[in-house]
Amino acid sequence: MKRRDFLSTFAASAAALWPAVGHAQEKPVPVIGVLDGGDPGPFLTEFGRGLRDLGYVEGRNIQIEVRSAAGKSELLRSLAEELTRRKVDVIVARLTPPVRAAKDATQTIPIVMAPAGAPLETGLIASLSRPGGNITGLSITSVEASGKRLQLMREMLPRLQRVAMLANAADPISHFLIAEAERAAASLGLQITPILVDGNQEIETAFAAMAKERVDAVIMQSSLPEKSVVVLALRHRLPLISTTRSAVEGGALMSYAGRLADAYREAAVYVDKILKGAKPADLPVQQPTKFELVINLKTAKALGVTVPQSLLVSADEVIE
């Protein structure tokens, strides 16, 4: 074969191979599935910030698929299964019911708790240091902080006697939360009225029952539909304490909890490690180290509550 013919044949063969080689070298963009039981907006804002800090840009080197039950807990399982069928690379689930739904849907796709309450007690993980299985992430101490919330509420409302504990019937940590609140209430001379609800209609009925029971204030569980609870608490003129800052921004009287914004951003760190090859079973679960007290002075004024100077001084933020 002449040299010229050989070069022509080689060039044609190489040209035919280049598209296939180039295609083989293209890396698929990782897909993150986000599973939320309520309003994912506050989470997505901070989680997205955390991803950007790590060099991820949605649409360029990462894709995010969001599924929200919008307060309808019965939808969580089907939404989790939908993400599983989508074959996402990792599922980020906010709060315990979505984490539970994700766990029931897959034992292979990595799941990041962002965060979840009482993951040990509810059997989501084997231990904090070595969670095992396909779940890791962040734990929130909503149960352990119950006593502190009651203390703050007593300081805010000196005549406080009866407190309604509005809990999510679909959340496996509800009975832990109620039990801890009852233990703390006994030492403070307070009475806890547990009310388990499932869905917006039951929440409305619950507030009507609170009026008949003449409760003085309400503590809400964070996995409940936040906006609905805040609106009803304001309508019934009941002081509401939450575990989320966003509830106070929406009109709740105050909140005390670990800094959820930090947890939301830290969830991105877990995702980054998993996408780079780390196994969830080997990534220790983190617990909050910073707690914040947020008070809404506008709500206090509307309810006729005088906020003690001691609380104003100790608050991390006062919304006016």
Residue 152: what are its φ and ψ, rounded to 5°?
-65, -40
pLDDT of residue 8: 46
- The answer as to whether 22 is a domain residue is no
pLDDT of residue 258: 85
- The answer as to whether 306 is a domain residue is yes
- The answer as to whether 70 is a domain residue is yes
**Cβ(244)–Cβ(39) below 8 Å:** no
Tokens, residue 242: 């939450």
Q: Are 160 and 136 within one domain? A: no
Q: Are 250 and 270 within one domain? A: no
- The answer as to whether 100 is a domain residue is yes
Q: Are 49 and 135 within one domain? A: yes
- The answer as to whether 7 is a domain residue is no
The CATH number for 178's domain is 3.40.50.2300
Q: Are 119 and 38 within one domain? A: yes
Q: Are 119 and 174 within one domain? A: no
| Structural element, H or E, at residue 212 | helix 200-213
Place of tokens 């983190």: 286
Q: Are 177 and 132 within one domain? A: no
pLDDT of residue 288: 82
Among 219, 163, 225, 171, which residue's Cα sits nearest to residue 188? Answer: 163
pLDDT of residue 27: 65
Based on the structure, what is the number of domains in the chain?
2
Q: Are 266 and 255 within one domain? A: no
Say whether the peptide bond before residue 115 is cis (omega within 30 degrees of 0): yes
HEC sequence for 217-280: EEEECCCCCHHHHHHHHHHCCCCEEECCHHHHHHCCCEEEEECHHHHHHHHHHHHHHHHCCCCH
Q: What is the CA radius of gyration of the chain?
A: 24
In three-state secondary structure terms, 80 is helix
Place of tokens 């599922």: 91
- The answer as to whether 21 is a domain residue is no
Angle at CA of residue 85, ends 84 and 89, nearest 5°: 50
Q: Write out residues in the chain with pLDDT < 70, as ranges.
A: 1-27, 142-144
Place of tokens 């499932």: 198
pLDDT of residue 26: 59
Q: Are 153 and 199 within one domain? A: yes
pTM, 2 dp: 0.83
CA max distance for the chain: 103
Q: How far, in Å, are 43, 73, 75, 107 from residue 67 at the CA level? A: 13, 12, 10, 19
Q: Are 73 and 132 within one domain? A: yes
Residue 30: what are its φ and ψ, rounded to 5°?
-60, 145
Q: Are 311 and 298 within one domain? A: yes
**Cβ(241)–Cβ(300) below 8 Å:** no
Q: Are 38 and 173 within one domain? A: no
Residue by residue, DSSP assigns 128-194 as SS---TTEEEEEE-TTTTHHHHHHHHHHH-TT--EEEEEEETT-TTHHHHHHHHHHHHHHHT-EEEE
N-terminal to C-terminal alpha carbon distance within the chain = 87
Determine the distance from the C-alpha atom of residue 38 to the mean position of all C-alpha atoms in its chain, rounded to a whole number: 9
pLDDT of residue 142: 65
- The answer as to whether 15 is a domain residue is no
User: For residue 298, what are the domain limits?
Assistant: 146-259+292-319
pLDDT of residue 40: 92
- The answer as to whether 19 is a domain residue is no
Q: Are 103 and 214 within one domain? A: no
